[in-house]
């Protein structure tokens, strides 16, 4: 019960990112991954006034669809995400929760009028995905400029940081993953006794 589900959101045509992302998640968190398409209603997240998609609504749907053997879910979208207080976000996650989402939309070089660079876009996606999953294990933004948990306001911020956690954050990740596994074992034990109901709290989103 400790899979990280990686879920395409919407109509992403190119899936070259899937295998590298699964590898990065397994290497970083030591958790197995499953790539699945969930039945999501992306139209519910669309805000016509802004021409963007509400990332909180996407998170709600991802979490609601998470199978019982999943401890985390990472949605990968190719639409422009927002939260009400910001112009846009590269991704969003629940702090100490199950759900996270990252978008390729503003990671394309073409979005900024620059030549297509598939390798750079993949590198950016891996950083944002690990960043958002880090939040789900209880990590907040890090001040170390090289740490992947460093906050990114602009795409240049993503390019300047590494795809690795600093040592302090790495320790917190280990603790978070260990806690996740303990919860999974506890839930499995209750399920085996036939009286468990799986549920997710909805902690703050960051």
Given the residues 110, 128, 132, 167, select the one marked as catalytic: 132
User: What tokens appear for 172 in the block?
Assistant: 């917190």
Intra-chain end-to-end CA distance of the chain, in Å: 25
∠ Cα 84 85 86 (to 5°): 95
Cα gap 95→31, rounded to integer Å: 18
Contact criterion met (CB below 8 Å) for 150 and 164: no
∠ Cα 198 201 206 (to 5°): 135
Cα gap 104→89, rounded to integer Å: 11
Please tell me whether residue 6 adopts helix, strand or coil conformation.
strand
User: What tokens appear for 111 in the block?
Assistant: 């979005």
Is 164 one of the annotated active-site residues of the chain? Answer: no
Q: Which residues are the active-site residues?
A: 132
């Amino acid at each position: 019960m400790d899979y990280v589900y990686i879920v395409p959101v919407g109509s992403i045509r190119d899936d070259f990112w899937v295998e590298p992302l699964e590898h990065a998640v397994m290497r970083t968190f030591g958790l197995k991954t499953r790539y699945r398409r969930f039945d999501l209603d992306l139209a519910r997240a669309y805000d016509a006034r802004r021409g963007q998609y509400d990332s909180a609504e996407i998170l709600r749907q991802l979490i609601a669809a998470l199978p019982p053997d999943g401890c985390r879910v990472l949605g990968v979208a190719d639409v422009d995400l927002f939260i009400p207080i910001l112009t846009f976000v590269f991704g969003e996650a629940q702090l100490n929760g199950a759900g996270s989402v990252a978008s390729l939309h503003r990671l394309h070089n073409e979005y900024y009028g620059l030549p297509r660079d598939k390798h750079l876009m993949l590198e950016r996606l891996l950083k944002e995905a690990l960043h958002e999953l880090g939040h789900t294990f209880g990590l907040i933004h890090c001040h170390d400029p090289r740490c992947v948990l460093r906050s990114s306001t602009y795409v240049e911020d993503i390019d300047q940081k590494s795809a690795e956690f600093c040592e302090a954050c790495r320790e917190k990740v280990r603790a978070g993953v260990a806690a996740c596994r303990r919860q999974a074992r506890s839930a499995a034990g209750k399920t085996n006794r036939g009286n468990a109901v799986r549920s997710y709290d909805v902690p703050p989103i960051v």
